[in-house]
Structure 1
Amino acid sequence: MRSCRGVGASLSAEAVAQWEKEHLALLAQIAPASFEVQHYAAMAELRKKDG
């Protein structure tokens, strides 16, 4: 969650620590102890047009 939402790149170290604390507390309340995370990946190959 931190990397896909830009949390680590857009906040100070202190703000990231607070975000992680709050996020882990939320997960402890709403998520099961073990679960699978489905991932999705996409790739695009871009080429510069000549001319």
Structure 2
Amino acid sequence: MKELFSFGPIHIYFFGLMIAIAAITGGAFAIKQGEKRGINEDIMFNLIIGFLNEN
């Protein structure tokens, strides 16, 4: 894996950064779409967290 940078014992890898960016972008998009369809933002946020926690 390609390491982008590190802060002492904490290493940040390119692939991990891309996954984090995708999760944040996808979550923001899902919340916007939920609002357009009349779904409460808190419900959408809880669904997103639930999906991200699934193994």
TM-score, scaled relative to structure 1: 0.39
Q: Which has the higher contact order (CA 8 A, sep 6+)?
A: 2
Richer in helix (by share): 2
TM-score, scaled relative to structure 2: 0.36
